[in-house]
Amino acid sequence: MSVDTEPAAPAPTPAPSTEVRHVQLSLSTAAARNLATTTKSEPQMQGISSRWLLRKLPWVHTPGGTYRVNRRLSYVVGDGRVTFNKTGSKVEVIPAELAELPLLRGFDDALALGALAEKFVQKEYEPGQVIVHAGKKADHIYLIAHGKVEKLGTGKYGDETLLGRLGDGDTFGGQILAGDGKWEFTAKATTAATILALPQTAYKAVADQYENLRAHVQSLGSNGHRPTNKAGEAAIELSAGHVGEALLPGAFADYELKPREYELSVAQTVLKVHSRVADLYNQPMNQTQQQLRLTIQELRERQEYELVNNPEFGLLNNTDFEQRIQTQSGPPTPDDLDDLLSMRRGTQYLFAHPRAIAAFGKECNKRGLMLRSVEVDGHAIPAWRGVPILPCGKIGVSEHQTSSIIAMRTGENNEGVIGLHQTGLPDEIEPGLNCRFMGIDEKAIISYLVSTYYSAAVLVPDAIGILENVEVRPRA
C-alpha cells in the first residue's frame, strides 16, 4: 500500500552578510603596558586608626626606665572590686578577692579568706526590690555579682535623693567588720541582681577561729580615726581667723612610704627582609622602608591598646574605684556625662568607642539636644559641655554590648594622666621607637629588631574617671 507524500520544500537562500570585521589599526593598551611603567601607591593598611589617645597624652621623658609617683599619705582605703566564679546559676566569690574589701586590704591568709568565702550566701533580687533599709541595723556584707543597685538617702526636705550607683564587683556593708552600726542609706536593685551576702554572725565565727583576721581588721579600722582632709590624705593642721597671740599648730605634709612606680613596657617584633628583595626591588619605592613603615603603624596600634587595657598600667584597670560610676538606665545620657564631668576639675578629654559615641548622640536626639563640636588639631570633634569626645576603638565592647567612657585630665603640672617613654634610644627613628640591625642569616634574610617603649601614669586618682556599663546596642 503506497502513501502519497508532498515533495520537500527547497532550503531558503541565506541573506548576504552585513557584518563588518574590526581590523586593529593601533597598538592595544594591554600590549602597551608591557613597555610602560605603572603608577603605584604605597602599601595601604586598613588597620590604622586615628589613635587620639597617643596624640593627646603628654609624653614625659623617663631616662631611668621607671617613673615614681609620689603622693601625700592617704588613710582612706577605697572600696575595691571583687571577682566571682560562675558555674551555671551558682556564683561564688574568689577567696583572694575578699582582700579588696576596705578592712581586708592587704590581708593574705588564704585559709581565713577561704573560710570567709564559704560563708557567703547567694541571693537574687528583682528590679525595684529593696536590699537594705536606711536606719536598720547593718548586719551583712553585700557583694554585687551582677546587676545595678542604687544607694538612696533622704534629702534636706525629706524627699528621696540618689547617693550613688553600684555595679558588678562593687560591695557595701564592709564597715560591719569593725563593729556594729546602722545603714546610712537604702539600697535598691534597679535591675535583676545577683548578690552574695555575709551575715555578721558568720564573720564573727570565722574571726574567732582566725585571730590574725580580727587583728588585721581592728588595725585598719583604727586608721579611720586619724585626721584627714576631704580627699582622705593626712591632714595638715592649720589655724585661720584667729586674733592676738594664738598658739599656732605645728604641721607637715606626710608622704606615702611605698609610692607607685611605673616601669616602661615594650612592644617588639623582628622585621625580616630578604637581601635579594632589598637589593633588586627598590624602584620606585624602597622595600625596607615600606616594610618598616607598616610595622611601625602596627606597633603604635598595639601601644595604644596596651595603654587602655594592660592589667598593670592600662587606664581602664588603673582608674580608682571611687572614680567609676554607672549609667542611670543603660545607654549613655547627658545626665551620665554630667555626673562624670562633675567628679574632677578641668576634664580635658572624653574617650569612647565610636559605637558609644553614636549611642550618646541618639540619646541627645531623643531629648532634642544638638551635640556641638569643637576643633581639635584641625578636626571638628563632637563635644559635651565643651569637652571633646574623641573616638578610641581600643576601648572594647563586651559580649553584652556594653562599653566604657573615659574622662581625663592630662599633664604633669595639671596633676593628670601622662604617657611615659624614653627618647634618645640607639638607632631611634621616632620618639621612643628604634630599629636595630640584627644581622643576616645563612638564608640571606636581613633581620631588624623594632621596639617601642611606653607606659602611662595617673598622678592623682581624680585625674581619670570612667562611666561603666554603657549600653551601645540599639534600643527598641
Instruction: Kindly give the pairing relationship between strand 387-391 and strand 349-352.
Output: parallel
Separation of alpha carbons 375 and 378, rounded Å: 6
* pLDDT value of position 214: 86
* pLDDT value of position 3: 47
* pLDDT value of position 8: 57
Percent of the chain with pLDDT over 90: 51
Can you state the percent helix, strand and coil of the chain, rounding each to 5? 25, 30, 45
Position with higher pLDDT, 56 vs 258: 56
Reference 55, options 265, 269, 300; nearest CA is: 300
Separation of alpha carbons 335 and 467, rounded Å: 11
Backbone conformation region of residue 366, classed left if phi is above 0, alpha if psi is from -120 to 50, else beta: alpha
Residue 93 C-beta-side C-alpha neighbours within 13 Å = 34
**Residues 385-431: tens digit of each pLDDT:** 999 999 999 999 988 899 999 999 999 999 999 999 999 999 999 99
* pLDDT value of position 99: 85
Separation of alpha carbons 96 and 82, rounded Å: 9
Strand-pairing partners, residue 458, are 417
pTM, full prediction: 0.75
Separation of alpha carbons 302 and 115, rounded Å: 42
**Residues 96-108: tens digit of each pLDDT:** 888 888 788 878 8
Residue 67 C-beta-side C-alpha neighbours within 13 Å = 23
Three-state secondary-structure class, residue 365 = helix
Three-state secondary-structure class, residue 309 = helix
Q: Is the pLDDT of residue 59 over 70?
A: yes
Distant-in-sequence, close-in-space partners of 37: CB < 8 Å, separation ≥ 6: none
Which pLDDT band holds residue 168 (cuts at 50, 70, 90)?
confident
Handedness of CA 314, 316, 317, 321 (dihedral sign): positive
The answer to whether the beta carbons of residues 195 and 168 sit under 8 Å apart is no
Query: Ranked by mean pLDDT, which of 150-154, 248-252, 370-374, 449-453 comes out on top?
Result: 449-453
Q: What is the mean pLDDT of the chain?
A: 86
**Residues 102-128: tens digit of each pLDDT:** 788 878 888 999 999 999 999 999 988
Residue type at position 191: T
Reference 91, options 8, 185, 197; nearest CA is: 197
Burial degree of 362 (CB within 10 A; 0-12, 13-18, 19+): middle
**Residues 291-336: tens digit of each pLDDT:** 999 999 999 999 999 999 998 999 998 888 788 888 988 899 999 9
Separation of alpha carbons 105 and 76, rounded Å: 11
Handedness of CA 324, 346, 407, 364 (dihedral sign): positive
Reference 310, options 94, 456, 460; nearest CA is: 456
The answer to whether the beta carbons of residues 337 and 384 sit under 8 Å apart is yes
The answer to whether the beta carbons of residues 287 and 277 sit under 8 Å apart is yes
Which pLDDT band holds residue 78 (cuts at 50, 70, 90)?
very low
**Residues 38-58: tens digit of each pLDDT:** 888 899 999 899 999 999 999
* pLDDT value of position 77: 47
The answer to whether the beta carbons of residues 135 and 183 sit under 8 Å apart is yes
**Which cell is 44 given?**
595601604
User: Omega into 16 within 30° of 0, i.e. cis?
Assistant: no
* pLDDT value of position 26: 78
**Residues 238-256: tens digit of each pLDDT:** 667 667 777 767 666 666 7
Separation of alpha carbons 171 and 196, rounded Å: 10
* pLDDT value of position 388: 97
